[in-house]
Amino acid sequence: MLINVPETVVADALRGIAAAHPALTVDVENRVVLRRDAPVAGQVGLVSGGGSGHEPLHAGFVGPGMLSAACPGEVFTSPVPDQMVRAAAAVDGGAGVLFVVKNYTGDVLNFDMAAELAEDEGVTIAKVLVDDDVAVTDSLYTAGRRGTGATLFVEKIAGAAAAEGQTLERVEAIARQVNGSARSFGVALTACSTPAKGSPTFELPPGELELGVGIHGEPGRERRAMMTSREIADYAVDVVLEDLRPTSPVLLLVNGMGATPLLELYGFNAEVHRVLAERGVPVARTLVGNYVTSLDMAGCSVTLCQVDEELLRLWDAPVDTAALRWGC
């Protein structure tokens, strides 16, 4: 691994983020990444976070039109409440702060505690839980559905609403609408390896894949012999559509798990578009790349989000972050 020692992986990465992106304020000691212009007076602040190892989620999405702050935890480990309280205080411009929380038990508990502490300090907090993964109901880390690719859609669209000056109540409602309109399904071709372990976190024999894998390597629905890109697209999209049943155009995220090259992801995207066309589902916008990753896992996920005119307008609104940028 391209590291010094496992104990400093997150701190080293944060120093690198600071060096690469001067538009961010990176507090390495307290593990908080902020927009340099935070707080923005009169604008709802958006704070998210989670275990490291999913980059560019979440620090890569801090900036105008998206998150106000991100709180990175240790690898695959929730950030602690103190990080979230610091972030909330730093981005509170008087209009309140929205916590965007992926549905993993540690994240949920720590963000709940942080919300109470921040409100004790006079910050108005709202929360939205992202639980878009249709693969399984409960997992090693979660009660209920896991939060995965829809996190990007929630952060982008809610961030655009906040940038327009919409109220905390309205930004929260939009974030909940996005989550309720989005579904995801992931596939692992290889296991991932954490820096602390230095070897795969689970066994996936050569020539097999895991259908419905979680972003920490949690088990999915089943294992099968290796499938073609076409076969995986047929399976994954049909599972998502069975649950979502969209009646309007969708946003599509074809996401890499960290080790799958863009050549393969774009080929997979072509197959996903084929399936959606065959099922009569129009695609309004497509995003392809590594956005919600799992360290060095090879694999992919598909996220669909049904959109109306307002959500599509907010998706198209300008955004300027390290990992997502357009219209600026």
Supply the residues annotated as catalytic: 54, 216
Residue 275 tokens, joined: 């399936």
How far out from the chain centre does Cα 218 lie?
A: 16
Closest-CA residue to 152 (of 102, 93, 194, 209): 102
Say how far apart CA 264 and CA 255 lie, in whole Å. 11
Rounded to an integer, what distance in angstroms lies between the CA atom of residue 46 and that of residue 161? 11
Query: Of how many residues is the chain composed?
Result: 328
Residue 228 burial by CB count (10 A; 0-12/13-18/19+): exposed, middle or buried? exposed
Contacts for 246 with CB less than 8 Å, ≥ 6 apart? 281, 304, 306
Residue 227 corresponds to which amino acid? M
User: Can you say whether residue 132 is alpha, beta or left, with left for phi > 0 and alpha for psi between -120 and 50 degrees?
Assistant: alpha
